[in-house]
Amino acid sequence: MILGGVFNSGILATGASAGARYDYGLAPPAVLDRVRRIEAVCGRHGVPLAAAALQFPYGHPAVATVIPGARTRAEVEQNLALLQVAIPADLWHELKAEGLMRNDAPCPSDASAP
């Protein structure tokens, strides 16, 4: 499987800032709140939100590649750097414990890295 849109129109790359985009429109308050909570978990583990968003799909064994949708060379280089960020398994466990992702969601710590 090849996945695109892992940043969900931008909010998982930029975070829950003013004007954040989700599903090609302005992010609604409930989504902003959820992303803030995810950002807080990522922050506690020293992991950029965008790195978690980009690496998360690789936890599923059917995912062969991810197309993040870079527009510039700088974005390509940033995405490559985000793929190199070490993400502790505890981050995924905490997201599950906080109800921010499904308990049965496969995570990169459960599979081989990209």
What are the φ/ψ torsions at residue 54 (nearest 5 degrees)? Answer: -75, -35
| pLDDT higher than 90, residue 89 | yes
Q: Is the pLDDT assigned to residue 112 strictly greater than 80?
A: no
| Predicted TM-score of the model (pTM) | 0.90
Question: Residue 37 burial (CB < 10 Å; 0-12/13-18/19+)?
Answer: middle
Cα 59–chain centre separation? 12
Q: What is the per-residue pLDDT across 18-52, written as a single tens digit (0 to 9) for each?
A: 899 999 999 999 999 999 999 999 999 999 999 99
SS3 51: helix
Q: Which pLDDT value is given to residue 110? A: 72
Residue 113: what pLDDT? 46
Q: What is the pLDDT of residues 101-110, one digit of tens each?
A: 999 999 998 7
Of 7, 93, 83, the closest CA to residue 45 belongs to 93
